[in-house]
Amino acid sequence: MRILVTLVAAVVTVSAATTASAFCGFYVAKADTSLFNRASQVVLVRDGERTVITMANDFEGEVKDFAVVIPVPTMIERGQINVGDRAVIEHLDAYTAPRLVEYHDPDPCQAYWRLEEMAGSDAAMPASEKELRKSARSRGVTIDARYTVGEYDILILSAKQSGGLITWLNENGYKIPRGAKRVVDSYLKQDMRFFVAKVNLEEQARLGYQYLRPIQVAYESNKFMLPIRLGTLNAKGKQELYVYALTRTGRVEATNYRTVKMPSNVEIPEFVDGEFADFYRAMFDGQTRKENERAVFLEYAWDMAWCDPCAADPLSRKELKSLGVFWLGDDRGNRKPTVQPLAQNVFVTRLHVRYDAEHFPEDLMFQETGDRQNFQGRYVIRRAWKGEAKCDISNYQAALRERQEREARQLANLTGWDIGDIRGKIRFPDDTIPEPDEEPWWKRIWN
Final residue of a structural domain among 336, 362, 381? 381
Last residue in a domain, options 343, 358, 381: 381
- Residue 85, pLDDT score: 93
Considering the domain boundaries, does residue 95 fall inside one? yes
Instruction: Please list, in sequence order, all residues whose beta carbon lies within 8 angstroms of the beta carbon of residue 303, skipping any fewer than 6 positions away.
Output: 342, 344, 346, 347, 348, 372, 374
The verdict on 372 and 420 lying in the same domain is no
CA pair distance 293, 361, nearest whole angstrom: 12
- Residue 157 near residue 142 (C-beta atoms within 8 A): yes
Per-residue model confidence (pLDDT) at position 115: 28
Distance CA 252, CA 367 (A): 6
Q: What is the pTM of this model?
A: 0.81
Residue ranges in the chain modelled with pLDDT below 70: 1-25, 58-61, 111-128, 210, 234-235, 329-344, 430-439, 441-447
Q: 70-79: per-residue pLDDT in tens?
A: 888 789 999 9
Q: What are the DSSP calls for 395-425, one per residue?
A: HHHHHHHHHHHHHHHHHHHHH---HHHHHHT
Do 169 and 301 fall within a single domain?
Answer: yes
Looking at the fold, whether 358 and 393 belong to one and the same domain comes out as no
Distances (CA, A) of 410 to 185, 264, 268, 364: 48, 12, 7, 32
74, part of any domain: yes
Give the 3-state secondary structure of residue 286.
Answer: helix
**Region of residue 85 (phi > 0: left; psi between -120 and 50: alpha; otherwise: beta):** beta
Is residue 115 domain-shared with residue 155, that is, in the same domain?
yes
> Are residues 118 and 176 both part of a single domain?
yes
Task: Kindly report, residue by residue over 138-180, the tens digit of the pLDDT.
Answer: 999 999 999 889 888 999 999 989 899 999 998 888 878 778 8
Number of domains the chain contains: 2
Q: Return the amino acid letter for 299.
A: E
Residues in the chain: 447
pLDDT of residue 434: 60
Same domain flag for 411 and 365? no
Q: Strand 239-247 relative to strand 67-72: parallel, antiparallel, unpaired? A: unpaired
287 and 167 assigned to the same domain: yes
- Whether residue 254 is found in the same domain as residue 403: no
Contact assessment for residue 256 and residue 298, using Cβ atoms and an 8 Å cutoff = no
- Examine the domain organization and report whether 228 and 324 are in the same domain: yes
End residue of a domain, out of 326, 351, 381: 381
Residues 360 and 388 in one domain: no
Is residue 13 assigned to a domain?
Answer: no
Asked, for residue 123, whether it belongs to a domain, the answer is yes
The answer to whether 258 and 379 are in contact (CB under 8 A) is no
Are 213 and 150 contacting, i.e. CB atoms less than 8 angstroms apart? yes
Domain range for 173: 26-381
Which parts of 102-175 fold into alpha helices (H)? 129-138, 162-171
d(CA 18, CA 271): 22
Sheet (strand 67-72) strand order:
67-72, 193-199, 152-159, 141-149
Residue 4 maps to a domain? no
Question: Is 11 among the domain residues?
Answer: no
Q: Which runs of consecutive H residues, i.e. helices, occur in 267-343?
A: 276-290, 317-322
How many Å apart are CA 189 and CA 198, to the nearest integer? 26
Same-domain status, 289 and 250: yes
Q: pLDDT value at position 63? A: 74
User: Residues 258, 296: contact at Cβ < 8 Å?
Assistant: yes
* 5 domain-assigned: no
**Looking at the DSSP assignment, which residues form a beta bridge with residue 354?**
240
Query: Cα separations (Å) of 16 from 101, 152, 216, 381, 395?
Result: 11, 49, 41, 10, 20
Residues 79 and 179 in one domain: yes
Measure CA 365 to chain center. 15
- Where does residue 24 rank: exposed (0-12), middle (13-18), buried (19+ CB within 10 A)? exposed
